[in-house]
Chain A
Amino acid sequence: NAGVMQNPRHLVRRRGQEARLRCSPMKGHSHVYWYRQLPEEGLKFMVYLQKENIIDESGMPKERFSAEFPKEGPSILRIQQVVRGDSAAYFCASTGVRNIQYFGAGTRLSVL
Chain B
Amino acid sequence: SQQGEEDPQALSIQEGENATMNCSYKTSINNLQWYRQNSGRGLVHLILIRSNEREKHSGRLRVTLDTSKKSSSLLITASRAADTASYFCATDGMETSGSRLTFGEGTQLTVNP
Contacts and interface: CB of A to CB of B under 8 A. Distances in A.
Interface of A: 4, 31, 33, 35, 41-45, 48, 55-56, 91, 93, 95, 98-106, 108
Contacts of A31: 98-99
Given A33-B100, A42-B106, 8 more contacts: A35-B101, A48-B100, A55-B97, A56-B97, A99-B92, A105-B42, A106-B42, A108-B40
Question: Ordered nearest first, which 10 A-B pairs have the shortest CB separation?
Answer: A42-B103, A99-B99, A56-B97, A103-B43, A105-B42, A103-B42, A43-B103, A42-B105, A95-B99, A106-B42
A105 B39 CA distance: 11
B49 to A, nearest CB: 11
B66 to A, nearest CB: 20
Q: Is the interface of A mostly helix, strand, loop or mixed?
A: strand
Contact of A45 (B41, B45, B100, B106): B100
B61 interface: no
Nearest to B4: A42
Given A33-B100, A42-B106, A56-B98, A105 B31 contact: no
B42 A91 contact: yes
Contacts of A48: 97-100
A99 B30 contact: yes
Contact of B100 (A56, A91, A103, A105): A56
Interface string B19-44: 00000000000110101000011111
